[in-house]
Amino acid sequence: MNKLISLFIVLTSLVFSQDRSIIFSTGTPDSTSGFLIDNTNSYANRFSVNVDFVLEAMNFFMTSENQENSNIHISIREDLNGIPGELVSEFSEWNYTIDFDHPFNYNLIQTTNLCVYLDSGNYYWFVIEAADNLTEVSWIYSNSPLYQIASSQDSGISWQTDVSYAGAGSIFGEQIYVQESSEGDLNSDFTTNVVDIVSLVSYVLGESSFDQEQLIIAD
């Protein structure tokens, strides 16, 4: 059964994760037990990034006994001295209804078009809370108890941290590459063509000037 679940996750991930990186992942859970998320209880996973990323997607494993009241609020937050802090951006929060059509309690949110940036060397929090007073869902436990997590019993007003089982899920991102200008690319459009030649001739004739970077590229 676990092999079937893993195969499903891999095939689903291939739909959106080509040329993307896994920033954080707990793997596929083995059970359906998890953290209770309701109008007072909230949970968060802490993760870090070692290069600059744009957030691409996130998945998480959740179950609920009541399909009519399964509305959650998800956010990616900055790290504030080891606990969840402010939103990374105005686009880094989502209201979501648990998808009961997906097998294995798998849920996916894609964020490709939102330009949520995660900066190298920083910690962040993947936070899930109830979106209304009636919701009661379970964020299924990770298989390993070695994750940094935070829990709140007052709707996110205060947080307590621990090293324990996390809420099962993954964070995906696309790495940001800063492409250097090529030799002769005087206008930094990442190609060397007649426009650059005209600029160089203009400089030689004394009709224009170059900054230090352009002088190095033109050399």
Q: Please say if the pLDDT value at position 181 is more than 60.
A: no
pLDDT recorded at residue 194: 59
* Tokens encoding 50: 């070692």
Query: What is the pLDDT, as a whole number, of residue 197?
Result: 65
pLDDT tens by residue, 100-154:
888 789 999 999 888 999 999 999 999 999 999 999 999 999 999 999 999 999 9
What number is the average pLDDT over the span 48-59? 95
Of 161, 160, 167, which is closest to residue 144 (Cα–Cα)?
A: 167
Give the mean pLDDT of 81-99. 96
Entry pTM: 0.75
Assign 3-class secondary structure to 36-76: EECCCCEEEEEEECCCCEEEEEEEEEEECCCCCCCEEEEEE
Domain segments of the chain: what residues? Answer: 2-175, 181-219
| pLDDT for 44 | 98
pLDDT at residue 5 greater than cutoff 60: no
The CATH code that applies to domain 2-175 is 2.60.120
Query: At 34, is the pLDDT very low, low, confident or very high (cuts 50, 70, 90)?
Result: very high
Q: What is the pLDDT of residue 196?
A: 60
